[in-house]
């Protein structure tokens, strides 16, 4: 017999210890009040009570084991022991990410390290064999690949007449390539390929050349092709004139010379002046430094190229800390030695130069501003205006918020910038260096809804009592929209399960084609509201329920234009509706607080006023309803006051009605919103009807039409003529491709692109290929809750394309995401084949995971 332990009765005076156990008393261990545990060798005699206690103990252990087994089978999938790597486990439904399905929240184990190891569910998304495969597709709208860009660059450098140098080696008088991107094909050629299986259009590039050595200096656009081995080039036929070099877009070469000019002009006296009155200066500082923003003076005000430089503290974030110190830099010609500081603004007064300011300051003829460099206040953990968490933190106990996940993986595919969703939606996207994101060949159910949908321009019109703010009539394409869209953060900017995609762009800010990571994300999203639903529960209507989850596909990008961040979504609904949504966040632009500034904003920090401004966004929507021959009409609401002969007293009862108003010309179709005359905007095909003789079309509905309040001929608005209208519908032409240009911030004296000219020729638009130019926006008077960052809540503007008599009924009736419940005669729930018994572990990026993607979030944007 092997050594072991035996359960024996506790020693009592009248019981004699067997001889074999004598001497082991000191080794005895208490088991309970009736027994002791001792080592033994050989057989052991036990009385009846001992045997009963052993049997009782075994019974308890067996019952505990049975309870544990039942609990295990309740929470573990039945296919746990299966050898197959299955995507979906056939178990009871698991509600929520933590595998908890009851109505009460799971308890938290206070000793998780002591818990038994429990087998886990498979990861969400399924295995590779179950995932959707991208279809075979030839995308004629795909952005240029790096090798294609390099081939264009090499070709252009061989053309001696251009005398090109590499941009990063260029001087003010050097010719260089500013940008290279795809030249989208003419629509007729594209449709011949897409619809008639014709020959694909030639793949070509659009190159923008800065040519200051030409006489006169110009900016020219050339089409280069065919790719990937170019052999020809020609002037861009969509640009009807050369571009005056004076109104060119900003570039690094110019800004480098501007900074050197400012550095030389400031001099020791001004730097000492700044240090004395602001506790900081521009150049040679270590910690307490000044930075600046610049506001271009449009060519409608000046024949020279001018910038108002607005000094600010270099802290998180600078635009909240304006100082009331500004100066006007005049850049005469291409010789920076002739550039000079023309005016200086300090303490609400204008001076002729830095010397003039110092002279009057030393004579005591100027007011004085005395500020100290911002510091963390007593009782605070971080600087006012910074985005470090501050104040009373909540929730009191750190708990993660809700997240979404995809139990079976993506229900969309994306490859080579071509996207398909639920076998219903398909579209192509691309990023234009000169403007912004563009969608092409947008289809639902195999039918084209729009040939192109694209963001054309973002402008912000500021107002204030100081020169820099007055001239801040900003067109963000001047700073390059697409090159400022990158670094989307998983779990915040887009869900963890989103697909993050880069774009490749070529501009003068990088010597080679540059891969901008995380520029676009695509994900499916539960909008957390039914797309439609109804519950009937009465003897008249029956007892049933049907509802559809509003699952949508979202393509998102975010443009970071120094202080402001613009979130742009294209949202694809299962009803055939397409929603364009833009939201604003980021930092406001401020002014130094003075009495003169009070009409233009509220005080938001000790010395800071948030400047009033107007955001406006212009979109191109090339709608093709069952072909390119379409009409535009409005359905105008009116009050019906007709007397009905059958009504008892013969008195009319006012009620709503509508009348149709077909727009015949472009000037008829230039729309300015009026709340007194509400109307629907419908684009339809007059030759295509539904079975009820309704003209099949799409309705354009906007939430966020914004009135341009300034006079149409004022200042920079000469180049933003699209902002005069909430919507304008014009006949589509390849040469009327865009409503703005990257030169718009300077060119209002003679705009490179003028949408008003598209309207003024007043062409017929009945049964034509039509383009809608739609504008939304929001007015903003900043307030203290905009500090430090403007929340997106309340900044939303949308344009929605809604099917209008296009389908026989709502196409979402085919969606399997719907749930049907019948209460009679038997209670039944129909989920239309969608697996309900889903148990999987969703992925989630931790802080450590995000840290590994640091190069995708922060990068040198040039």
Q: How far apart are CA 192 and CA 190, in angstroms?
A: 5
Q: Between the CA of residue 471 and those of 108, 293, 297, 306, 460, what are the distances in Å?
A: 59, 12, 6, 11, 11
Dist CA 313 CA 329 (whole Å): 20
Q: Are 838 and 407 in contact (CB under 8 A)?
A: yes
Distance, in Å, from the CA atom of 29 to the CA atom of 62, rounded to the nearest integer, reads 25
**CB-based contacts of 611, cutoff 8 Å, min separation 6:** 462, 463, 464, 469, 472, 588, 589, 590, 591, 597, 600, 601, 782
Q: What angle do CA 119, 122, 126 make, to 5 degrees?
A: 170
d(Cα 724, Cα 760) in Å, to the nearest integer? Answer: 13
HEC string for 379-398: CCCCCCCCCCCCCCCCCCCC
Whether 94 contacts 121, CB under 8 Å = yes
- The single-letter DSSP state of residue 52 is H
Q: Which residues are catalytic?
A: 476, 564
Distances (CA, A) of 811 to 419, 531, 802: 20, 12, 12
50 exposure class (CB count in 10 Å sphere: 0-12, 13-18, 19+)? middle
Token pair 């521009």 is at which residue? 282
Tokens of 222: 């050339």
* H-run or E-run covering 311: strand 305-313
- Quote the tokens at residue 476: 């963000």
What is the CA 846 to chain-centroid distance, rounded?
21
Please give the full DSSP string across 136-200, using - where no structure is assigned. Answer: P---TTPPPPHHHHHHHHHHHHT-GGG-B--GGG--TT-BEEEEEEEEPPPHHHHHHHHHH--PP
CA distances for 648 relative to 76, 489, 644, 653, angstroms: 72, 67, 9, 12
HEC string of 238-264 equals: CCCCCEEHHHCCCCHHHHHHHHHHHHH
**DSSP secondary structure of 521-540:** EEEEEEEEEEEEEEEEEETT
26 — alpha (psi -120 to 50), left (phi > 0) or beta? Answer: alpha
What span, in angstroms and rounded, lies between the C-alpha atoms of 686 and 675?
28
Four-CA torsion 647, 650, 652, 658, nearest 10 degrees: 60
The encoded tokens of residue 3 equal 């050594």
What is the rounded CA–CA span in Å between residue 300 and residue 717?
10
Contacts of 234 (CB under 8 A, 6+ apart): 222, 223
- The C-alpha atoms of residue 168 and residue 509 are separated, in whole angstroms, by 7
Alpha carbons 426 and 443: distance in angstroms, whole number: 5
List the one residue out of 707, 703, 687 whose CA is nearest residue 695: 687
Tokens at residue 698, please?
Answer: 């799409």
DSSP string, 454-523: EEEEEEEEE--SSHHHHT-EEEGGGG-SGGG---PPBTTTB-TTSEEEEEEEEETTSSS-EEEEEEEEEE
CA 818-821-824 angle, 5° bins: 155
Q: Which pair of tokens denotes residue 523?
A: 């994900």
Nearest-angstrom CA–CA distance, 264 and 254: 16
DSSP 336: G
């Amino acid at each position: 017999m092997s050594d072991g332990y035996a359960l024996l009765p506790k020693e009592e005076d009248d019981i004699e210890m067997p001889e074999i156990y004598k001497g082991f008393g000191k080794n005895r261990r208490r088991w309970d009040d009736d027994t002791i545990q001792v080592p033994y060798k050989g057989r052991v005699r036990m009385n009846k009570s001992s045997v009963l206690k052993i049997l009782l103990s075994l019974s308890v252990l067996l019952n505990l084991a049975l309870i544990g087994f039942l609990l295990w089978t309740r929470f573990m999938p039945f296919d746990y022991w299966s050898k197959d790597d299955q995507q979906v486990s056939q178990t009871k439904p698991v509600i929520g990410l933590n595998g908890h399905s009851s109505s009460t929240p799971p308890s938290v184990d206070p000793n998780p390290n002591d818990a038994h190891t429990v087998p886990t569910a498979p990861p969400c998304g399924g295995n590779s064999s179950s995932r959707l495969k991208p279809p075979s597709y030839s995308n004629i709208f795909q952005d240029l690949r790096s090798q294609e860009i390099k081939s264009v660059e090499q070709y252009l450098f061989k053309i001696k007449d251009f005398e090109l140098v590499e941009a990063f080696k260029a001087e003010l008088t050097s010719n260089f390539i500013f940008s290279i991107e795809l030249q989208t094909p003419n629509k007729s050629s594209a449709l011949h390929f897409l619809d008639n299986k014709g020959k694909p259009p030639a793949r070509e590039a659009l190159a923008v050349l800065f040519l200051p050595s030409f006489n006169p200096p110009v900016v020219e656009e050339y089409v280069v092709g065919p790719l990937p081995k170019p052999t020809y080039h020609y002037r861009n036929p969509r640009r009807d004139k050369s571009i005056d070099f004076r109104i060119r877009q900003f570039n690094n070469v110019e800004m480098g010379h501007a900074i050197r000019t400012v550095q030389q002009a400031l001099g020791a006296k001004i730097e000492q002046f700044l240090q004395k009155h602001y506790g900081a200066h521009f150049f040679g500082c270590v910690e307490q430094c000044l930075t600046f923003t610049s506001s271009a003076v449009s060519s409608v005000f000046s024949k020279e190229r001018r910038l108002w430089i607005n000094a600010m503290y270099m802290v998180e974030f600078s635009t909240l800390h304006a100082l009331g110190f500004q100066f006007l830099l005049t850049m005469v010609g291409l010789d920076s030695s002739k550039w000079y500081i023309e005016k200086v603004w300090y303490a609400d007064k204008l001076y002729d130069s830095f010397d003039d300011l110092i002279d009057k300051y030393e004579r005591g003829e100027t007011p004085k501003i005395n500020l100290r460099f911002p510091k963390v206040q007593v009782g605070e953990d971080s600087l006012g205006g910074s985005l470090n968490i501050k104040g009373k933190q909540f929730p009191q106990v750190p708990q993660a918020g809700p997240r979404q996940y995809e139990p079976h993986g993506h229900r969309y595919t994306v490859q080579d910038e071509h996207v398909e969703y639920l076998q219903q939606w398909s579209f192509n996207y691309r990023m234009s260096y000169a403007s912004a994101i563009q969608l092409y060949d947008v289809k639902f159910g195999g039918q084209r809804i729009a040939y192109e949908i694209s963001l054309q321009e973002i402008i912000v019109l500021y107002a204030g009592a100081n020169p820099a703010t007055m001239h801040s009539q900003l067109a963000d394409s001047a700073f390059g929209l697409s090159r400022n869209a990158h670094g989307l953060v998983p779990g915040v900017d887009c869900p963890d399960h989103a697909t993050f995609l880069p774009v490749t762009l070529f501009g003068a800010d990088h010597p080679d084609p540059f891969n901008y990571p995380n520029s676009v994300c695509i994900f499916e999203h539960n909008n957390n509201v039914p797309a439609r639903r109804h519950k009937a529960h009465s003897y008249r209507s029956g007892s049933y329920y049907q509802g559809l989850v509003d699952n949508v596909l979202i393509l998102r990008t975010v443009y970071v234009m120094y202080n402001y961040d613009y979130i742009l979504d294209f949202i694809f609904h299962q009803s055939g509706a397409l929603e364009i949504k833009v939201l604003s966040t980021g930092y406001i632009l401020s002014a130094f607080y003075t009495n003169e500034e009070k009409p233009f904003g509220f005080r938001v920090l000790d010395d800071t006023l948030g400047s009033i401004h107007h955001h406006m966004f212009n979109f191109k929507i090339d709608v093709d309803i069952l072909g390119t021959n379409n009409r535009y009409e409005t359905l105008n609401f009116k009050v019906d006051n007709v007397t009905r002969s059958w009504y008892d007293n013969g008195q009319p009862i006012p009620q709503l009605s509508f009348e149709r108003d077909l727009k015949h010309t472009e000037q008829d179709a230039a729309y300015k919103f009026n709340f007194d005359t509400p109307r629907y905007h419908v684009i339809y095909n007059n030759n295509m009807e539904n079975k009820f003789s309704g003209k099949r079309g799409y309705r354009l509905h906007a939430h966020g039409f914004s009135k341009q309040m300034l006079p149409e001929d004022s200042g920079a608005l000469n180049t933003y003529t699209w902002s005069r209208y909430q919507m304008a519908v014009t006949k589509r032409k390849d040469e009327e491709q865009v409503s703005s240009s990257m030169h718009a911030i300077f060119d209002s004296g003679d705009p490179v692109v003028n949408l008003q000219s598209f309207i003024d020729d007043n062409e017929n638009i009945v049964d034509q290929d039509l383009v809608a130019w739609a504008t939304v926006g929001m007015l903003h008077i900043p307030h203290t809750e905009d500090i430090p960052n403007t929340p997106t809540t309340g900044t939303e503007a949308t344009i929605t394309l809604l099917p209008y008599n296009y389908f026989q009924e709502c196409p979402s009736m085919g969606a399997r995401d719907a749930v049907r419940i019948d209460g009679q005669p038997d209670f039944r729930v129909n989920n239309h084949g969608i697996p309900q018994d889903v148990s999987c572990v969703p992925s989630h990026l931790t802080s450590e995971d995000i840290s590994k993607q640091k190069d995708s979030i922060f990068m040198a944007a040039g």
